[in-house]
Amino acid sequence: MAQHDLLIVGAGPVGLSLALALKDSGLAIALADTRPRDAVAADPRALALAHGSRLTLERLGVWNDLPATPIRHIHVSQQGGFGRTRLEADDYGVPALGYVVQAGALAAALRDAVECAGITVMDQTEVTSLNSNSDSVTASLAGTGATIHGTAAGARLVACAEGGLLAGTPDIVERDYGQHALIANVGIAGKHRETAFERFTSEGPIALLPHGDEYALVHVASPQRATELLALPDAAYREHLQRRFGSRVQLARVTGRLRYPLVLRYRRDPVGPRTVWLGNAAQTLHPVAGQGFNLALRDVWALARTLLDYRGDPGLAGTLAAWRDARRLDRFGAINFTDSLVRIFSNDFVPLHHARGAALFALDMLPPLRHFIARRMMFGARAWP
Ligand SMILES: Cc1cc2nc3c(=O)[nH]c(=O)nc-3n(C[C@H](O)[C@H](O)[C@H](O)COP(=O)(O)OP(=O)(O)OC[C@H]3O[C@@H](n4cnc5c(N)ncnc54)[C@H](O)[C@@H]3O)c2cc1C
């Protein structure tokens, strides 16, 4: 049975980022992924990455060749109500508030860099169970990869970045939002001028993120409404969106609609015996504030720093607890911030509608509050003074 210092379950963007962050650590690292090598590169979602994520991806050496569209202005409003706010990159002395990249392109760049670093990735290798004892964890492997790599692997630390939480896993908080996200590419008449729109409507929030020459759309609606919207021909759907957005932006065409069910699901404790959980496997968030991958990358970077600081056996309980404790504020802050946004802005209760307008107005009028929120989205808990 092969022995590793660190076995990473899942070679999605989060698992690959961890491997890369530890490439010079001297640890013997391997990744296992159920899917074939190129599957991650097919992810069509557009990810809004915070300025802080850009800095981390630069350190990982994958930023420079990654096609990324800067967001310099963010316009937040609600349909049918007063109140709006704008966030401007210039106010924070950063080149952009964030960047939009294609999730598949990011994963492909990470994968190439992991291979360049000589780290083993076992493709088509599913980890079917983990059994830990005081010294190590044994992972059972299945799939065509197991015929090459063996049906079991040992590791001193296992990082679970497999993207989902198994139903019935203990210590999980779960809430089905009763919402689905439609994503699509939206062509526009004219230029987007690096402006992102977040618009809260009675159907749910709609985000337009500048991506290349177009916009990437994330349109949240009830599952039934999502089914109806998916059934509309492209042109009719474009008209529907245009009505929701008003005259701020002229939409020319919509292509490539896909849907994702939305839940909040997280582990109260992302640490177990010689095991950590990262990314969607630790917390799956609503995309309303674009926090999921950004938070995961901060967790990954902090874990890598902790393992480098403590050296020695990477699976020691004290080392993993130090990481968990250091990440608690940012982690629960991002989970609660995202969940609060969904609750406040997905409710069409009339007094709340007015309160939302007042909140957006207040944000516009109160620079310190606006700056706090902007910094939180860019840097996570480091936004706290
Ligand atoms: C519509 C939408 C929009 C989003 N927008 C944003 C955004 O703007 N900004 C942002 O920061 N985040 C956003 N997110 C969240 C972001 O997509 C996730 O945080 C990110 O994709 C999580 O990556 P991951 O590596 O944890 O999981 P995944 O990408 O799911 O990767 C998990 C990998 O593990 C493998 N695997 C699964 N089970 C096993 C097993 N048993 N053994 C071995 N391998 C296994 C899978 O094959 C897969 O390759 C959005 C999410 C959605 C749904």
Nearest by Cα to 17 from 94, 150, 90, 119: 119
Q: What's the fold here for domain 70-98+177-263?
A: D-Amino Acid Oxidase; Chain A, domain 2 (3.30.9)
- The per-residue pLDDT for 241 is 93
- 259, pLDDT greater than 60: yes
pLDDT digits (tens, 9 = 90+) for 109-145: 999 999 999 999 999 999 999 999 999 999 999 999 9
Instruction: Compute the average pLDDT of residues 14-18.
Output: 98
- 384, pLDDT greater than 50: no
Q: Which of 17, 33, 291 to mutate to test the pocket of ligand 1 (most atoms within 8 A of CB)?
A: 33
CA distance 179 to 203: 10
Token pair recorded at residue 97: 């508030």
Whether 45 is in the pocket of ligand 1, judged by its Cβ within 6 Å, is yes
- The per-residue pLDDT for 47 is 94
Instruction: Compute the average pLDDT of residues 177-187.
Output: 94
- The per-residue pLDDT for 121 is 98
Query: How many A from CA of 296 to the centre of ligand 1?
Result: 10
Q: Which residues pair with 6 in a beta bridge?
A: 29, 157
Q: What is the mean pLDDT of the chain?
A: 89
- The per-residue pLDDT for 383 is 47
Whether 216 is in the pocket of ligand 1, judged by its Cβ within 6 Å, is no
Other CB atoms within 10 Å distance of the CB of residue 278: 27
CATH number belonging to domain 2-64+102-171+264-340: 3.50.50.60
What are the sequence ranges of the domains in the chain?
2-64+102-171+264-340, 70-98+177-263
- 167, pLDDT greater than 60: no
- 332, pLDDT greater than 90: yes
CA distance 217 to 153: 41
